[in-house]
Chains A and B, each alone.
Chain A
Amino acid sequence: MVMFSQLRRCDITDDQDRQAKLLDLSIDLLDSDYPPITRLFFLNDKNKKHWLPWEQVRTIDLKSHRIGVQNLNERQQLVAGSLGKDVLLGDDILDALVLDLQNRRATRANDLWLEGDESRLELRAADTSFGGFLRRLSGGRYGRISKSALCDWRYVEFLRGEPDAVRNGEGYHLRVARLPPGEIARLTDMLPYLHAAELITLLPDAKAVDALEVLSPERQLQVFEELEEEQALALLTLMAPDIAADLVGRLPTKLMRRHLERLPQLQSERIIDLLRYPEDTVGGIMTNDVVFVRANLTVAEARKKLKQPLKTPDFVYIVYIVENEESRRLRGVISLRNLITADDEQQLEDIMDPYLTTLNPLSLAQEGAYRVIDSHMAALPVVGGEGQLLGLVTVDAAIVQVAPPSWRTQAPRIFS
């Protein structure tokens, strides 16, 4: 019905013909998909900010730029804290970065589209077009409204640019959490790092980890350091060990030790194990979150045994067969497909593939990466001097290694 820039030109008049100039409007962000206007803000004659509740509004007359209210004298002065959880349309939302989830982009609200009437006026959309820019500059006089450039507010996430805002309990719709992790990560990559950290803080841990894993290493570090320690630990715990190791290895030594000591034993040891290898070696690009099972089992036993281990790792498509859990000496591999389709009574040793290409943890990362890519396998195992299974290099990690630098952050990572 009306653009915020047009409404802003209006004067507020009451029944006794007292007048004031409209400054701003506030909304209750979390009220509904389309949040209603809650208050009008204006200056009194002493240049102090005051407000009236929206219920006071009787008429909106855009032709004569007038908003009629009952009684301007029922105004209240705006003092620190009296804003509560309300968000100001002009001061907070206009010009700020907002996430347009429909088009998967970070953009700016040049103007806002309001709909409704005197009883309830709702924020319906953000105008991100150049027209909105013009309209703002001209105080609502010029700038065509193009419906196609309006971002439906139902698909907008409004960020404050301050990770602390989440911790202070500001309202968020969390609409962004509905997107797949890769898309969240792409969006995060477009944002300045404080916005990005705010977004990661906001997301549920599982989503946050997925998004954080996909970010470029520098960005990851910037964002990670803005997180609170509890959340940082929670995310590190859930993260794939290879990515966690890359991240932890970049932290200042003191912080690194602190995190490693506070992480759950298993994850902490995995990360430490990976950090033993220089980053330009196969060990530096492998992950050690591997699914393996003892050789002298039947298929049915193996399936039962693997039920739990298969739940967490990113890469589960190949199961490695080892002599026993202690020595971890690699005997062969079996794909998940073969394991599921095989007969229950068959021995694992009979159906596994005992011929395999392995990688040495200390050979060059580049060579190892080419071996993985040339093998046309989803991953190759990394085996130590005693023949023990140390980890695996997925094709994702290999591609990142050999791709030109400009591709690295864009290469999708599926397995790890």
Chain B
Amino acid sequence: MKKTRTAGGLERVDAQEAQTLPLEPRSIRSGLRLSIRGRGVHLRGLRRPPKGILRWLAILGPGLIATSAGNDAGGIATYTQAGAKFGYELIWVMVILTVSFAVVQEMCARLGAATGRGLLDLIRERFGIGWSLFAIVIILIANGGVTVSEFVGIGAAMELLGVSKYIAVPVGAVVIWYLVIYGSYAKVERILLVMTLVFFAYPVAAIMARPNWVEVVRGAFIPTFRSDPAYIFLVVGLLGTTITPYIQIFQQSSLARRHYGPERIDAYVGAVFSNLMSISMIIATAATLYVAGHRDIETAADAARALEPVMGASAKVLFAIGLLGATLLAGAVLPLATAYAVSEAFGVPKGVNLDFRRGKVFFSLFTALVVIGAALALVPGLPVIKLLVGVQVLNGILLPIILIFILLLINDKRLTAELKNTRRNNVLAIGTLILITSAVVVMLGSQVLEFFGIKLFGG
């Protein structure tokens, strides 16, 4: 039989004789050899998640990118402020938070896998309508606040690039709204993620700035307590900006409960990487700004200076690009996730694939969050960095409430069955809860006392 390449069957079939294999055979994966009913078969078409090194790359790749993107405007502001104000002193908080963050992150992933449902959805069914309204309000405040801070970040980034925020923020809001509603967001997301890669300069900057490593280690492992309201304020800010995993349980999980397992490692690895990144931000800022005596970050331009050891004169521009990518990402995801979760709790149709008539509540919520977030970010004379840190502090204050809900839900056997919290999990999680709550109580307490003229700390 003659083997020739036929031109897509323009001959009669019998004249065609045989459809030949392609001239250049494609390389084929080896696949899996299996014996089924005693017959050996070679299966190449299995849709398997990668294993071995590939699996680690698959986890770490997106994980790393998500980590850098997770450091949105509020995160960058808080970490750099912590480094500039107190040098290496606050690193110990981040070390402790790594454990807490990993535990909380893993609990959220597990709750998602066990129930396949969002947080507000679960609260509505388990605790009834009153609690669900309470949780909705909390989450609207927290995420609304962060949304404002993202738009502030967009404005700050564009001002670094020489564009007035009064132009940049409205344009940013329209762009985000359009991209999400008209579905091209997924494509743009990758570009934004690439932009945030700029932040990987922080670990490099942290090393190139030649920090005093003895002090770094001391800061990391020997807790210091200062009777300075700004100190405790920043501790709560660090809590609020680091532990924000409940974003992921806003959305329905794509995991199935029977296969929960590897995700545990993913959650832990993600938490460690994310916090290493944050710590490098603190070190980079401490080694440049703090050491130079520049103790208060007021504008984004100040924060960009920490990158100068790596990037020199272009630090400002590159920082602005990274910040823009991160804030646009978060500025789109947060309102979307919030609108999604709230619609779910109310039981109204949700999703960007709906037309407006069918998803009135969903679209109105999303639009309102974007519009109000952008509008508040435009208030003239905002102290940018103070506001960003303030929002994270607010998140820190609300965090214990959300954590209590998560803990109650994950310990509910009817929901999570064999994926229930183990005792060790509970100890760590409750420890985290106590830690956060006491930090919040101390901060709020000192502020209340100060209001009445009593100074707890001699700051």
User: Do the beta carbons of A130 and B346 come within 8 Å of each other?
Assistant: yes
Q: Which of A14-22, A169-177, A354-362 contacts B (4 or more CB under 8 A)?
A: A354-362
User: Do the beta carbons of A108 and B347 come within 8 Å of each other?
Assistant: yes
8 Å CB contact of A260 from B10, B36, B254, B348 = B36
B130 within 8 A of A: yes
Give per-residue flags for A78-103: 1 if the beta carbon is below 8 A from chain B beta carbons, else 0: 00000000000000001111000000
* Chain A residue contacts of B132, Cβ below 8 A: 95
8 Å CB contact of A133 from B42, B115, B129, B255 = B129
Given contacts A277-B45, A362-B26, A387-B17, contact A221 B9 (CB under 8 A): no
A-B contact count (CB 8 A): 154
Query: Which A residues from 163 to 201 make CB contacts under 8 A with B?
Result: 190, 192-194
* Alpha-carbon distance A108/B133, docked complex (angstroms): 14
Given contacts A193-B116, A245-B45, A249-B43, contact A136 B34 (CB under 8 A): no
The interface size of chain B toward A, counting residues with CB under 8 Å, comes to 55
* Alpha-carbon distance A43/B314, docked complex (angstroms): 72
Decide if the interface of chain A is mainly helix, strand, loop or mixed. mixed
User: Do the beta carbons of B130 and A137 come within 8 Å of each other?
Assistant: yes
* Chain A residue contacts of B22, Cβ below 8 A: 360, 362-363
* Alpha-carbon distance A230/B186, docked complex (angstroms): 39
B2 within 8 A of A: no
User: Do the beta carbons of A383 and B19 come within 8 Å of each other?
Assistant: yes
Select the residue from B19, B36, B254, B346 with max chain A CB neighbours within 10 A: B19
Given contacts A275-B43, A385-B18, contact A331 B116 (CB under 8 A): no
B150 within 8 A of A: no
Distance between B128 CB and nearest chain A CB, rounded to angstroms:
6
Select the residue from B13, B29, B128, B353 with max chain A CB neighbours within 10 A: B13
* Alpha-carbon distance A136/B25, docked complex (angstroms): 67
* Chain B residue contacts of A330, Cβ below 8 A: 13
* Alpha-carbon distance A115/B32, docked complex (angstroms): 62
User: Do the beta carbons of B116 and A137 come within 8 Å of each other?
Assistant: no
Distance between B337 CB and nearest chain A CB, rounded to angstroms:
16
User: Do the beta carbons of B186 and A136 come within 8 Å of each other?
Assistant: no
A225 within 8 A of B: yes
* Alpha-carbon distance A352/B192, docked complex (angstroms): 55
Q: Name the CB-closest residue of B to A358.
A: B9
B458 within 8 A of A: no
* Chain A residue contacts of B47, Cβ below 8 A: 217, 246, 249-250, 279
B404 within 8 A of A: no
Give per-residue flags for B19-54: 1 if the beta carbon is below 8 A from chain A beta carbons, else 0: 111100110110110101100011111111000000
* Chain A residue contacts of B18, Cβ below 8 A: 385-387
Q: Which of B78-86, B117-125, B321-329 contacts A (4 or more CB under 8 A)?
A: B117-125
B423 within 8 A of A: no
User: Do the beta carbons of A277 and B254 come within 8 Å of each other?
Assistant: no
* Chain B residue contacts of A371, Cβ below 8 A: 8
8 Å CB contact of B129 from A136, A250, A260, A274 = A136
* Alpha-carbon distance A337/B121, docked complex (angstroms): 52
User: Do the beta carbons of A276 and B34 come within 8 Å of each other?
Assistant: no
User: Do the beta carbons of A221 and B36 come within 8 Å of each other?
Assistant: no
Given contacts A226-B256, A276-B44, A385-B19, contact A194 B13 (CB under 8 A): no
A410 within 8 A of B: yes
* Chain A residue contacts of B183, Cβ below 8 A: 406
User: Do the beta carbons of A332 and B13 come within 8 Å of each other?
Assistant: yes
Select the residue from A105, A108, A110, A133 with max chain B CB neighbours within 10 A: A108
A366 within 8 A of B: no
B258 within 8 A of A: yes
Q: Name the CB-closest residue of A to B17.
A: A387
Give per-residue flags for A1-39: 1 if the beta carbon is below 8 A from chain B beta carbons, else 0: 000000000000000000000000000000000000000
Given contacts A96-B125, A357-B8, contact A362 B45 (CB under 8 A): no
* Chain B residue contacts of A406, Cβ below 8 A: 183, 186, 353
Interface size of A as a range: 35 or more
* Alpha-carbon distance A371/B18, docked complex (angstroms): 19
User: Do the beta carbons of A275 and B44 come within 8 Å of each other?
Assistant: yes
Give per-residue flags for A359-373: 1 if the beta carbon is below 8 A from chain B beta carbons, else 0: 010111000000100
Query: Which A residues from 130 to 153 make CB contacts under 8 A with B?
Result: 130, 133, 136-137
Select the residue from A217, A245, A356, A363 with max chain B CB neighbours within 10 A: A356
B244 within 8 A of A: no
Query: Which B residues from 315 to 363 make CB contacts under 8 A with A?
Result: 346-349, 353
* Chain B residue contacts of A130, Cβ below 8 A: 346
B447 within 8 A of A: no
B367 within 8 A of A: no
User: Do the beta carbons of B115 and A261 come within 8 Å of each other?
Assistant: no
Given contacts A268-B36, A275-B45, A276-B42, contact A362 B25 (CB under 8 A): yes
B425 within 8 A of A: no
Given contacts A95-B128, A253-B34, contact A362 B9 (CB under 8 A): no
Give per-residue flags for A321-346: 1 if the beta carbon is below 8 A from chain B beta carbons, else 0: 00000000011100000000000000
User: Do the beta carbons of A331 and B45 come within 8 Å of each other?
Assistant: no
Distance between A189 CB and nearest chain B CB, rounded to angstroms:
10
Give per-residue flags for A269-312: 1 if the beta carbon is below 8 A from chain B beta carbons, else 0: 00010111111010110000000000000000000000000000
User: Do the beta carbons of B13 and A278 come within 8 Å of each other?
Assistant: no
Query: Which A residues from 369 to 409 make CB contacts under 8 A with B?
Result: 371, 383-387, 405-406
* Alpha-carbon distance A221/B48, docked complex (angstroms): 12
User: Do the beta carbons of A107 and B347 come within 8 Å of each other?
Assistant: yes
* Alpha-carbon distance A363/B21, docked complex (angstroms): 9
User: Do the beta carbons of A257 and B34 come within 8 Å of each other?
Assistant: yes
Select the residue from B42, B46, B130 with max chain A CB neighbours within 10 A: B46
* Alpha-carbon distance A154/B125, docked complex (angstroms): 23
Distance between A156 CB and nearest chain B CB, rounded to angstroms:
13
User: Do the beta carbons of A253 and B13 come within 8 Å of each other?
Assistant: no
B248 within 8 A of A: no
* Chain B residue contacts of A119, Cβ below 8 A: none
A76 within 8 A of B: no
Query: Which A residues from 209 to 246 make CB contacts under 8 A with B?
Result: 217-218, 221-222, 225-226, 245-246
* Chain A residue contacts of B37, Cβ below 8 A: 260-261, 268
A416 within 8 A of B: no
Give per-residue flags for B213-257: 1 if the beta carbon is below 8 A from chain A beta carbons, else 0: 000000000000000000000000000000000000000101110
Q: Name the CB-closest residue of A to B186.
A: A406
A128 within 8 A of B: yes
Q: Name the CB-closest residue of B to A109.
A: B347
User: Do the beta carbons of B124 and A331 come within 8 Å of each other?
Assistant: no
Q: Name the CB-closest residue of A to B187.
A: A404
User: Do the beta carbons of B115 and A192 come within 8 Å of each other?
Assistant: yes
User: Do the beta carbons of B252 and A192 come within 8 Å of each other?
Assistant: yes
User: Do the beta carbons of B129 and A357 come within 8 Å of each other?
Assistant: no
Give 13 A-B contacts (CB < 8 Å), ordered by A residue.
A94-B129, A107-B347, A217-B47, A257-B34, A260-B37, A275-B46, A362-B22, A362-B25, A385-B21, A387-B13, A387-B17, A387-B18, A406-B353
Q: Beyond the given A110-B347, A272-B41, A276-B31, could you list 18 further A-B residue pairs with CB under 8 A, ordered by the A residue number?
A: A108-B124, A193-B116, A193-B256, A194-B115, A257-B36, A275-B41, A277-B45, A278-B28, A278-B44, A284-B45, A330-B13, A331-B13, A355-B13, A356-B13, A357-B10, A358-B8, A360-B22, A385-B18
Q: Interface of B with A (CB < 8 Å)?
A: 8-14, 16-22, 25-26, 28-29, 31-32, 34, 36-37, 41-48, 115-117, 121, 124-125, 128-130, 132-133, 183, 186, 252, 254-256, 258-259, 346-349, 353
The 7 closest A-B pairs by CB, nearest first: A108-B347, A193-B116, A275-B43, A192-B116, A192-B117, A222-B256, A357-B9
